[in-house]
Amino acid sequence: PLAVEPSPGQVLGDTGPPSPPPPPRVHKPCFVCSDRSSGYHYGVSSCEGCKGFFRRSIQKNMVYTCHRERNCQIDKVTRNRCQFCRLQKCFQVGMSKEAVQNDRKKRKKEVKEDLGEDELSPELAELVRRVSRAHQETFPSLGQLGKYTTNSSADHRVQLDLGLWDKFSELATKCIIKIVEFAKRLPGFTGLSMADQITLLKAACLDILMLRICTRYTPEQDTMTFSDGLTLTRTQMHNAGFGPLTDLVFAFAGQLLPLQLDDTETGLLSAICLI
């Protein structure tokens, strides 16, 4: 006799009708923007975009400004238009600032345990503290800057693009001065000969400058914020004379985001670049 294959959903030996297919999975909406939720993050159901936005805003102590009436609609389409109202919406629906801070501490602890790190000696801890302070005193965080944007109207754009390179040159000079100041604050640097100090700074200055710029990347707006608070889009930087270098800088900034570097880590990376 021929063997009879059971139909899908039918148990062998069961002569009844096949089981109905399972109901389609219902995805909960993000409480902030109503996009599809990826789970519960920082206390509420939210999408990956709002989760990342809230985490970065808290970790970097961001201060946003609303250019309207502080009641902008936040949904899947408009969520990137006003960071102030988006952050307020995050708090309104119940996202927890403490949960972000605890999550970061937990991950750092897990990494430390995985690596089998020992506690820092008092001497090394003091060295790290001095490097961190040198960085903080020569490079304000993104949240400390009064961000401003350029006029993007068509009749102003040509004049803007022509003047941006001069603006960049001025900012770069100020940034280089701050990098030199950072180096001089590092333990042992001023003990080197002047020739060695100059050689190290020449070799590392561009690397540190790029690292510092990239820590001021805002992914929601795809913008960079410079030391005086000037905030530019990718297109504006490209038109100002950066050309193909623009995409490389933005790509590097995007790669840094998952690391969630704090001031101490950025300062230590800068010191490594220098030596």
159 shares a domain with 247: yes
pLDDT of residue 113: 53
User: Which residue stretches of the chain have pLDDT < 70?
Assistant: 1-26, 104-118, 142-163
145 shares a domain with 221: yes
- Token output for 9: 């959903």
Which of these three, 96, 118, 140, is where a domain ends? Answer: 118
In total, the chain counts a number of residues equal to 275
pLDDT of residue 208: 95
Split into its structural domains, the chain has a count of 2
pTM of the model: 0.59
Residue type, 49: G
pLDDT of residue 112: 52
Domain that holds residue 106: 25-118
pLDDT in tens, 188-243: 999 999 999 999 999 999 999 999 989 988 888 888 888 777 888 888 888 777 77
Is there a domain that residue 8 lies in? no
- What CATH number does residue 146 fall under? 1.10.565.10
- What are the start-end ranges of the H helices in the chain? 48-59, 83-92, 97-115, 122-138, 154-185, 194-214, 234-237, 245-256, 263-274
With CA atoms as reference, report the closest residue to 32 among 89, 81, 80. 89
pLDDT of residue 119: 74
108 shares a domain with 184: no
Burial class (CB in 10 A: 0-12, 13-18, 19+), 241: middle
- What CATH number does residue 85 fall under? 3.30.50.10
206 shares a domain with 98: no
131 shares a domain with 53: no
